Chain A
Amino acid sequence: MMPTALPFWCSFALALCAAPLLPGIINRVKAKFAGRQGKPVLQLYYDLAKLLRKGAVISTSTTWVFAAGPVLSLATVFVALPLLPLGGFASPFAFQGDFLLAAYVLGLGRFFLILAALDTGSAFEGMGASREAAYAALAEPALFLCFLTLAGLGADEHIALHLSLSTMFTGTPSLAWLEARPEVLLLPLVLFLLLLVENCRIPIDDPNTHLELTMIHEVMVLDHSGPDLAFIHYAAALKLWFFSALLAGIVVPAIFSNPWVQLAVNSAAIAAVAVLVGVTESIMARVRLPRIAQLLGGAGALAALALMLTLIR
């Protein structure tokens, strides 16, 4: 894969534009499973447009931190996204260890969202913030293990940038499992689980419930309204795209000579991930909160297993 700038930037533009589609697809799939018509696929676009036009109700308890939360959560996803090899094309920003930067940048967004939640002084938002902080901490080792496994696959210090997302997620793994390394198949599983955690989907979190006591992400943004809420929704969609792109980077082999075909296949894979999320949400129930930690521990263990198997070879 040549670091071709044009297809990459096209993929980036696609991501920015098409990200709000993913929740729509998920909702549509869920509705189909439930036998309902469901919301339009473009519902989030309408919502965003409406929210951006509206004013905001801001709590008297809050300070600038409250406003910084949505802004930073959106800005950080903006920054993290181009570090990925979008559409299967190596990022022009790729450097050794960029996966660390991406992870920490996303962490920055999450940190400020948590603070914004605490800034309202609401008990419910504090609840969400506390859970978000704890589960994010537990998810981090699993994510790192995934990255390291992928780095280990191509382990050779003579390859420049062997510790870069652009090397990890541009088709090597899929080629590897095609070469009879089935342990690599564990990785999509773990990453999918992490996607569910990071984006607050069932079975970890239920974005549509009406019971605040059981929510994680949604309850954190109860007080945000207007453009703030729009930023948050959009950032969430972009983050979903981010993780879907990770998955797509693993499963789509880099065998296409035409970059536009590759872009198309990649995007299709991302859409497929959204469908998969929808299916999962439809067929699974939400787990109890104390089980989430175990689930994350399990994900970490699987990733560690994958890493060890990779290293042994």
Chain B
Amino acid sequence: MELFLVALALLVLTASFLAAASLVPQVPSIRLCVHIAGPAGIILACALGMAGLFHGSWGAVVPWQAPWGLPLGGGALALDGLSRCFLLPVFGLGAVCAFSGAASLFHHDIGHNIAAHWFFYTLLVLALALVLTARDSVFFLISWELMSLSPFFLIEFDDHEASVREASWVYLVAAHLGAVVLLGFFALAWHMGGSSSALFAGLSLSPAMGSALFVLALVGFGAKAGLAPMHIWLPEAHPAAPSHVSALLSGAMINAGLYGIFRTYTLLDIQGGTPAWWGWCLLLLGLGSALTGIIKASGQSNLKRLLAYSSVENMGIMLMGLGTGLIGMQTGHMGIATLGFAACLIHMINHAAFKGLLFLCAGEILHAVQTVRLDLLGGLQQRMPLLGAAFAVGAAAIICLPPLNGFAGEFVLALGLATGVTLPQMEIQLGLLAALTGLALVSGLAAATFAKAYGIAFLGEPRTRLAANPHLPTAYNLVPLAFPAAACLGLGLAAPQLFALVAQALPLPQEVLAPHTAPLRASLHTVVLVGLAGMGIVALLVLWRRHLLRGAYSQKNSTWGCGFQKGTARIQYTDASFTDPQTEVFSRLMGVQVQSSMDKGYFPAHASYSIEAPDRLRLRLYAPLFDAVRRLCDACKIIQSGRIHLYILYMLATLVALLLWGFAA
């Protein structure tokens, strides 16, 4: 705890330094100072914080009382297993993204107030750490809002672009609307518990009140987590933000929404047991988000939008885990509960690693080629092999391929769902198994989507001149990628250990857990062994192949064009054509808009085909809603007509109405 507090103090210190530096004129010496001191402070603080997390028992609850100066609430903080699990990505990605951001901003930032950027970055990390440890409603809300607002200033970094302004606005509105629901949630919880910190000590509630709180939490936190109908800010904000920010937002910040839901559930004690529909609601919402996310992702041609939708998918998978855990608890099947909760946390940690990696890679692509539109990329693997390898690792991890880390979470979740076959009630069995089938579809589509993302962006021939001559990343740019890439591999091989760590954080008594964790750890050990064996086999095969080719005649030549000799990069498959078979199946869900044109005749000279998948929820639901409100407001503006007579008439009418109301009875 002490180390953790020192880390927080260091973050505060860094933030105040940066705030001061951002207000003075940006002369070169100050810029240099900020460039070095800002990220260094953040990285040091994150390292300290990380050390603080591993200091002492993982599951132990360590409370602390911070000084508090407001008339409401209090400064209660506590570290427990759940907080530690969620803090892991915050500190890990916080440091890595600061490193990467420092490398990419060092040269590129004429005119920007870099100190302000790093200030808000520090604030975000600090607020995240506080959100995850706060044990008081007001403290939590303040931290939450700081955490929600500071990304806004990070997203609007390139605000001379209209799309960035639009995106930052969408983010701000979504964040605030979610926060408003949370205001209601905490005020209600306060009322129920009688004090601002009562919620965090656990509330005993009637089912109706408990469900009201649960729904408020689900909507408020779900908006942050990017759950399906409330996800629309994600695909806008991530492409607009600088990539190191997207990585942190996607890998660490949206987890805070999940944390909120998770924490809320553990704190609500419903008389007569948790209502059954909670778990099903979460499972359904999770599956819906996962499917929506991945189907939309497969239709995107902007890499960062694709990654953003994939975050929606992964949050959905985590929520499915939470829902499974709830169902397990509710039906008294602790094995399923253990697996579900553990899956949620494991996948959360793993997601931070690979999504952070992928966003950072996307940032390097943007830096190298000036675009992340897949149809303008290609051939980057040959030109930037290390970057390509990092992306390949991330892509393989995100589609949950063993032996990388993504597999563990999905494995545990699928196992939890599959255990449903042993339950006595048929409807629960069917529900869980249907969810598992959905999960299988999601993972299949994810594989197709990331095959597209990596294959179209990095493989084949460059589709544009810029992609053919990219601005090569320096070692400083690449080193930060090594950490999450190593985490993808390392966490995959350390899956049993990760599971053991996470198991200590589960909201279940350890004696209940014990009979269920041991077999799972054994299974994970086998998975790791098989993975290691597979790596061995691969190594052997590679050596054998090399041996075979060494003796034989080999040559390099251009790709065989099936008889078409004038092969150019333009005849390659593009992202639109790659998605086509899925589009045929899911076009309705994907909301794709196909633009194809072809000259008439037998030998068309010109043809083009492109697809776009704008968010229909945003275009068909939210935009018209906002528009309608605006039109309503405009219509009502007639009452301020500018005529003084009318104004005085309003007064007269109000007076008479009040007198009539007051004395009629």
Binding site for B on A (CB under 8 A): 52-65, 67, 70-72, 74-76, 78-79, 83, 93, 95-98, 100-101, 104-105, 107-108, 110-111, 114-115, 118-124, 126-127, 129-131, 133-141, 143-145, 148, 151-152, 155-157, 162-163, 212, 222-223, 226-228, 231, 289-290, 293, 300, 304, 307-308, 311-312
A311-B537 contact in complex given A55-B549, A57-B555, A104-B407, C-beta closer than 8 Å: no
Return chain A residues, CB-CB under 8 Å to B585. 134, 138, 293
Please tell me if the beta carbons of A114 and B582 are within 8 angstroms of each other in the complex: no
Please tell me if the beta carbons of A79 and B414 are within 8 angstroms of each other in the complex: no
Segment at the interface with A among B10-18, B525-533, B615-623: B525-533
Please tell me if the beta carbons of B444 and A141 are within 8 angstroms of each other in the complex: yes
A136-B447 contact in complex given A55-B553, A123-B571, A163-B419, C-beta closer than 8 Å: yes
Whether B422 is near chain A, meaning CB under 8 Å from some CB there, is yes
Please tell me if the beta carbons of B530 and A118 are within 8 angstroms of each other in the complex: no
Whether B267 is near chain A, meaning CB under 8 Å from some CB there, is no
CA separation between A60 and B556, bound complex, in Å? 6
Whether B572 is near chain A, meaning CB under 8 Å from some CB there, is yes
Which residue of B is nearest A118, CB measured?
B455
CA separation between A140 and B557, bound complex, in Å? 37
B191-221 interface (Cβ within 8 A of A) = none
Please tell me if the beta carbons of B402 and A226 are within 8 angstroms of each other in the complex: no
Whether B464 is near chain A, meaning CB under 8 Å from some CB there, is no
Whether B370 is near chain A, meaning CB under 8 Å from some CB there, is no
CA separation between A76 and B561, bound complex, in Å? 29
Return chain B residues, CB-CB under 8 Å to A139. 444
CA separation between A222 and B441, bound complex, in Å? 29
Whether B184 is near chain A, meaning CB under 8 Å from some CB there, is no
Please tell me if the beta carbons of A61 and B461 are within 8 angstroms of each other in the complex: yes
Please tell me if the beta carbons of A130 and B415 are within 8 angstroms of each other in the complex: no
**Distance to closest chain A CB from B260 (angstroms):** 30
Return chain A residues, CB-CB under 8 Å to B388. 63
Contact of A163 among B381, B418, B443, B456 (CB under 8 A): B418
Whether B368 is near chain A, meaning CB under 8 Å from some CB there, is no
Query: Please, could you name 6 A-B residue pairs with CB atoms under 8 Å apart, sorted by A?
Result: A96-B520, A111-B396, A111-B447, A121-B569, A143-B440, A311-B426
Please tell me if the beta carbons of B451 and A311 are within 8 angstroms of each other in the complex: no
Count B interface residues, CB 8 Å: 85
User: Closest 6 CB pairs between A and B?
Assistant: A126-B573, A137-B444, A121-B460, A118-B455, A55-B552, A134-B581
Return chain B residues, CB-CB under 8 Å to A54. 552-553
B523-551 interface (Cβ within 8 A of A) = 523, 526-527, 530, 533-534, 537-538, 541-542, 544-545, 548-549
Contact of A60 among B396, B456, B557, B562 (CB under 8 A): B557
Whether B559 is near chain A, meaning CB under 8 Å from some CB there, is yes
CA separation between A108 and B538, bound complex, in Å? 12
Contact of B451 among A74, A115, A120 (CB under 8 A): A115
Please tell me if the beta carbons of B402 and A108 are within 8 angstroms of each other in the complex: yes
Return chain A residues, CB-CB under 8 Å to B411. 97, 100-101, 104
A55-B554 contact in complex given A65-B459, A151-B418, C-beta closer than 8 Å: yes
A130-B554 contact in complex given A100-B415, A111-B396, A123-B572, C-beta closer than 8 Å: no
Return chain A residues, CB-CB under 8 Å to B410. 100, 104
Return chain A residues, CB-CB under 8 Å to B548. 52, 226-227
Which residue of B is nearest A136, CB measured?
B444
Whether B145 is near chain A, meaning CB under 8 Å from some CB there, is no
Please tell me if the beta carbons of B401 and A107 are within 8 angstroms of each other in the complex: yes
Please tell me if the beta carbons of B448 and A108 are within 8 angstroms of each other in the complex: no
Known: A54-B552, A115-B392, A144-B437. 11 other contacts (CB 8 A): A53-B552, A60-B559, A67-B542, A74-B541, A100-B414, A107-B444, A115-B459, A134-B581, A138-B441, A141-B440, A311-B426
Contact of B401 among A108, A118, A151 (CB under 8 A): A108
Please tell me if the beta carbons of A118 and B534 are within 8 angstroms of each other in the complex: no
Whether B612 is near chain A, meaning CB under 8 Å from some CB there, is no
Return chain A residues, CB-CB under 8 Å to B430. 308, 311
Which residue of A is nearest B557, CB measured?
A57
Whether B558 is near chain A, meaning CB under 8 Å from some CB there, is yes
Please tell me if the beta carbons of A293 and B584 are within 8 angstroms of each other in the complex: yes
Return chain B residues, CB-CB under 8 Å to A56. 549, 552, 554
CA separation between A223 and B392, bound complex, in Å? 21
**Distance to closest chain A CB from B625 (angstroms):** 34
